[in-house]
């Protein structure tokens, strides 16, 4: 009976891990990210830590899928996921947000530090030899502040900065300031 309980406990842990993991990329999923973001925002408020959040979108991914097929697209997304894993620290959380969009939670990270991490990721994606053709990514960054301290606001701000990067030519990192306006200064 003890063996059965241990086996059931192990299986429950495996199912829990599967429920928070994206099956294609092996990254965490959006649901887990949103729960963790809430926890980290509370922790950063309590301890007065900085917290940054990145939204990353693979540029022109639809045309990649349309040209080379979904299997090639899936392979490209796995490569992007691996680049994220390689460039993050132990406490950082990378997730597949949906489709070709990824999100990264950077606890205890100021926006200037986040921009260095984002630029390193952007450059590595740009320089990676993907099958079929070159791939680039646009990244938006927001940091928690007195004006932006709930998950939906932080996600919205990073997403807004991401779209600003795309509107300004793609393959860019764009910061979002504390006052709700995209910063005019771009990292790349």
For the annotated catalytic residues, the residue numbers are: 100
- For 82-104, b/e burial (b = at least 16 CB within 10 A) is ebbeebbeeebbbbbbeebbbbb
- Give the strand pairing for 137-143 and 173-176: parallel
Residue that has been written with the tokens 């504390």 in this structure: 178
Which of 78, 58, 139, 59 has its CA nearest to residue 106?
A: 139
Question: CA-CA distances (angstroms) from residue 49 to 70, 100, 170, 180?
Answer: 41, 30, 31, 20
């Amino acid at each position: 009976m003890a063996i059965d309980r241990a086996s059931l406990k192990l299986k429950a842990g495996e199912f829990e891990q599967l429920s928070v993991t994206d099956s294609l990329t092996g990254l965490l999923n959006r649901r887990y990210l949103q729960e963790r973001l809430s926890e980290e925002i509370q922790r950063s408020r309590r301890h007065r830590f900085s917290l940054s959040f990145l939204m990353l979108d693979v540029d022109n991914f639809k045309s990649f899928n349309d040209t080379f097929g979904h299997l090639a697209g899936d392979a490209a997304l796995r490569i992007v996921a691996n680049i994220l894993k390689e460039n993050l620290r132990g406490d950082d959380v990378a997730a597949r947000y949906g489709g070709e969009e990824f999100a990264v939670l950077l606890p205890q990270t100021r926006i200037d530090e986040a921009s260095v991490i984002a630029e390193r990721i952007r450059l590595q994606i740009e320089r990676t030899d993907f099958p079929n053709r070159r791939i680039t990514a646009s990244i938006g960054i927001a940091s928690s502040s007195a004006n932006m301290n709930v998950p939906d606001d932080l996600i919205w701000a990073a997403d807004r900065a991401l779209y600003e990067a795309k509107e300004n030519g793609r393959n860019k990192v764009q910061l979002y300031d504390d006052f709700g306006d995209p910063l005019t200064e771009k990292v790349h």
